[in-house]
Amino acid sequence: MILGIPFELLPAAASATSGAVDVAVFLVFAVIGVVSLGVVAAMVYIVVRYRRRPGNLTGRGHDPATIWRTELGWCALTATVFLGLFTVGAAFFDRIERVPADADALDVAVTAKRWMWSFHHPNGRRELSQLHVPAGRVVRLHLASEDVIHSFYVPAFRLKHDVVPGWLRTAWFRATAPGTYALACAEYCGTEHAVMRADVVVMEPHAYDRWLAQGDDSRPPLAAAGRALFQRLDCGACHESHRRRRAPPLEGLYGRPVALRDGSSVIADDDYIRRSILRPDADVVADYQGGVMPTYAGLVDDDELLLLVAYIRSLADAEGVSP
C-alpha cells in the first residue's frame, strides 16, 4: 500500500517460469537505471563545471589522439552488456517456449471467442471463464480462436500467448501455488475486450481430482469425442487401413518429425494436424501422393479441430510406440 492505494511492484509469481521472467526484467531495468543515472550525473557535472564564465571559453581544443581508447572501451562494454542480456533472454525464452513433453502433463483445449474463454478438459468436462488446474503439474494449453486475434495472458504465470484464428498453438505453465489468478485477453479484440477475463483456479492435486470427478460426465472425454468425429467424417477409411496405404497412419504421429515429399520435415504438432485437415496438400508426406485427400475446410470448425487433435494425440503412444 502506498498512500492507501493498493500497490504491488510485480504481480504474485506463481509458475515455474515466472522467476526467469522476473530476473530478465530486473536485469534490463538495472542496466537502464544505471546508465540513465550515469548520463544524468555526467550531464549535471558538465553543465556546472563548464558553465559560461570569464576565462573558460579559450583554450578548449580537444586531443583526438587520446579519445580512441575511451571509444573502444565504451563500445566493448556496451556490446558485452547487451549480448549478455540477449543471451540470458534467449535462454529463458527457449525454456518458456519449449513445451515440456511430460508424460503426466494435463492437456487442456482452450477456445477464445468474442468475448469469452472456454476450456475443455481431457475427461470431457467443459468450463467457461474459469479454468481449474492442479498445482505442480505441467498444463499444456492447446489454443484456438473462433474469430479474431486474442491473447492468453496470466500475469501471475508471466505467460502471454497470442491466440490467432487459423492457427493452433501450444503454450504451457506449471503453477506452483494454489490460488486464484486472473486471466485476461491481452490483444484488443473489440468492444468487450476489457471484460474478456477468466479465473485460473490452481488447486491442490487431490482437490483437483475431486473437482474433476464431480463434473457432469454426460459428455464424452475429449479424445473419445474426437474419435467419434473421426468416425463420422470417415477419416478411418484411408487413415486406419494399413493395407491400402492411401494415407499415412496416425498412430505414434503426434509430436514427432514427419518427412515430407519435398525432402523437408515438420513436427506433427497441433498446427500441422490442423493444416493437414484443412489444406491436405500443404505438406505431402514422403512416400504418399498429393491430391488424394479432400479439404475439410468448412466441414469442421475450430472446436472440432481441437477434438480431432486430441484424438490423434491420444494415438501418440498407441501400439507400443513410446513418445
Which residues of the shown chain bind ligand CUA in the complex (CB under 6 A)?
A: 112, 115, 150, 185, 187-189, 193, 196
Range 2-11, long-range pairs (CB < 8 A, 24+ positions): 11/155, 11/156
CA separation for the pair 22, 78 (Å, rounded):
22
| Residue with smaller CB distance to ligand CUA, 185 or 201 | 185
| Residue with smaller CB distance to ligand CUA, 189 or 202 | 189
What are the C-alpha distances in Å from 196 to residues 139, 144, 165? 21, 15, 17
| Residue with smaller CB distance to ligand CUA, 22 or 147 | 147
CB of 116 to ligand CUA, least distance (A): 9
| Residue with smaller CB distance to ligand CUA, 156 or 164 | 164
Cell of 101: 513433453
CB of 196 to ligand CUA, least distance (A): 4
**Do residues 120 and 313 touch, judged by C-beta distance below 8 A?**
no
CA separation for the pair 162, 144 (Å, rounded):
10
CB of 6 to ligand CUA, least distance (A): 24
CB of 148 to ligand CUA, least distance (A): 7
| Residue with smaller CB distance to ligand CUA, 277 or 306 | 306
Report, in angstroms and rounded to the nearest whole number, the Rg of the chain calculated over CA atoms: 27
CB of 121 to ligand CUA, least distance (A): 22
Sign, CA torsion 165/93/85/177: positive
CA separation for the pair 316, 253 (Å, rounded):
6
